[in-house]
Amino acid sequence: MKKNGLVLALFVVFCLNVVLAQNPPSFDGDVFHFPLNRKLDKLKEKEYKNLDKNKEDYDEVKYVSYTSLNRYVEKLKEYYQEEMKNLEDSLENTKVELKEIKLNETDQILSELKYSVISGLGFAQKPLSKGIIVKLVPTIKEAETDEEWEEFHKKEIPAWTVNELDGRAKLGVLLNVWAIKELMMKLSESEFWRLPEVEDLTKINGLLNSKGLTAFDALAADKAKMDALVTPYKWNKPGKDYYEMGLLPGGYRKGSTYYPKPNQVKSCNFAIESSRLGLDFSDKLGISTLEENAKTIEYLIRDVNEASWGLNVILFRKDK
């Protein structure tokens, strides 16, 4: 990443140097006086040209010579065409250099993730999909039955499943604790991505509160995103999704039960960690929770061995 960042920084500096190497040509054409009883913006082109022939001095408004203005416009065109050519050339050179910089395996897999930013805090716009997690954790197993889900948990085998009503996995996959631990090891190799932390939630809540926004309105999926889903897991009413986070009520899994239950308030949940709180998925795990219409995004702390947990994972960007 250091080399990558250096190349990009050099490119930006080079571009600025190109643009600032010389100032645009200044206007050095004729400026004539214009009679008070005429309006320049209503002049036809022929009248405008004829004004150049009359060089009497008027005491009020000035106008620019038609001939001079055209000449100046042509100079500007030439100047900016040259600037664009310089920028295009430098961009080509930078592309060649960037091709020599290879991402590590983890970042190559995660390079397809789209992300948004809240006050400098970057986050993926969707939970991890099956396609990504099987590449990151090749040993992961799909738990197709409740029995398999329990068996994989007891044998400490990384496993994934989907929410029971989300057959097309539009809400991403639910990972068991062992899959999340394997994922965390892979993310330690990443220069860009990490598991979110409790402190991230605090930062988001603080920012939204300062703007007078509720977490649900700011982060929950809007109507357009919900309409595009083929799954019954939708909010009763849409959020505003001001930051393109697009959270959906995927809940989480505890044993063979999916939460929230049908009679409970809908919520979006994903895995979070915290070294300060000991949430490292060895003894304790963290579950973020955004309930429908909630003012803030909160979190739960649970014992790893309390049940065979299943959580979505939404990755956050590492600070650079």
Dmax over CA atoms of the chain, in Å, equals 98
- Relative to beta strand 298-303, strand 62-64 is unpaired
Q: Bridge partners of 288?
A: 270, 299
> Where are the domains positioned within the chain?
2-99, 105-317
Q: What confidence tier does 22 reach under pLDDT thresholds 50, 70, 90?
A: low
- CA nearest neighbour of 156 among 308, 311, 280, 273: 308
CB contact at 8 A, 290 and 215: yes
Place of tokens 């150049």: 52
Residue 58 confidence (pLDDT) above 90: no
Q: What confidence tier does 12 reach under pLDDT thresholds 50, 70, 90?
A: very low
Segment 25-42 shows an average pLDDT of: 54
% of the chain exceeding 70 in pLDDT: 75
Q: Bridge partners of 122?
A: 117
State the DSSP code for 127: P
73 versus 177: the higher-pLDDT residue is 177
Query: Measuring CA to CA, how many Å separate 276 from each of 1, 194, 208, 250, 279?
Result: 27, 16, 23, 27, 8
- Relative to beta strand 267-272, strand 115-118 is unpaired
pLDDT, residue 241, reads 95
* pTM for this predicted structure: 0.69
155 versus 162: the higher-pLDDT residue is 155
Q: What pLDDT digit, counting tens, does each position of 294-317 carry?
A: 999 999 999 999 999 999 999 999
**Which of 61-70, 122-131, 236-245 is predicted with the least confidence, judged by mean pLDDT?**
61-70
Residue 209 confidence (pLDDT) above 70: yes
pLDDT, residue 262, reads 85
Residue 9 confidence (pLDDT) above 50: no
